[in-house]
Structure 1
């Protein structure tokens, strides 16, 4: 039996992943704002510190996998606090607890939104680790009707780049810890339900996120990939952002990545 930490475990992809791991016979320490083993707010320094303290206590000081899934999709600074700084703090804060595992694994969540327009300044501030300035920039973007939607995509670009910068370093690959991410397309969760509630909204999403292979996906689709990336079978994927998006990446970028 392996012990996993799953953030965002109370709903959406996080809940689907936590449920899947438990069904497979593993132990899950769930983390969320409520209805979880560890109830913390990952937008705050106190919440991030308590996350590490509580996971250390509940696990006895050793875990096998971290699945950083908690996220927001609102055009506000809090999205930066959770999607980038909270996710990075989760992975970095819990990394020492992975070192005693025979097969330590870590995975986070980016998005196909990382292919959409983003704000270079916000991404640079994220990667520089300057959270106060990044939150201030997000507040500026949130105030503009044409810029507010850049916040979410910028957090996903920033996190994907963080994965690429850190996965091969001594503290991750050098310690035998595969560090990767997934990039979902449109997933049928409570987070996107309001956008899909009308024909107009659904049409807009279909145009922005083309998914020619089987359309919008249920959360379990991403959960299965996350579970594999966090499992012992994944021994050599390093720094990959795996798109599980029904073909959005293919439609949008085509052959340009090669």
Structure 2
């Protein structure tokens, strides 16, 4: 069995022992049913000597409620794209949003902001919204464990589309629009930061599209067909990586 990658949100150092967090314990012991002596790979998303990477480790003292890990060799991992993508994603229903976040992280997105839009069918606020955001961040962490990433993309607090459009940024601003005249594959090759807007189910309203243009977002096209919101986001990120990022 290949030793699993597990995110451990605490300082890690070669030669030291750590007690696994509740989330790491649940994943390694309750889900994967690992025992003392089993090898695992730990990462914490923090810079180690100015590099991101992962540690080999061995489980010790595995009990019913806790387990330790002896930290071994550190290996630098350099698999981040040169393209920084901030995804503004209109919140979609049910598992569609979860799927979008999971796969966008696998494809290399760096930051995700869930957006409330005119056609957003999800009504969340207060404690329910905070729980949902926490769930989304856990999905992002799981996607990093699976995909081999050692940096953890941030799921920012959900805000209105208007608030997001008004944020100051030096990134190239793109709005995926099925009636745009410019192809996403025709973008100049000089950009390394992208702010990508994807509407929810049903897309953005005409007013929201006009508002995005007011804030200097460029309409771009993927092709002649209308895509579902989750398909649109992942296809656009893939196209951007092919055009400007690390998929060559």
Q: TM-score, normalised by structure 1?
A: 0.25
Larger Rg: 2
Task: Looking at secondary structure, tell me which structure has more strand per residue.
Answer: 2
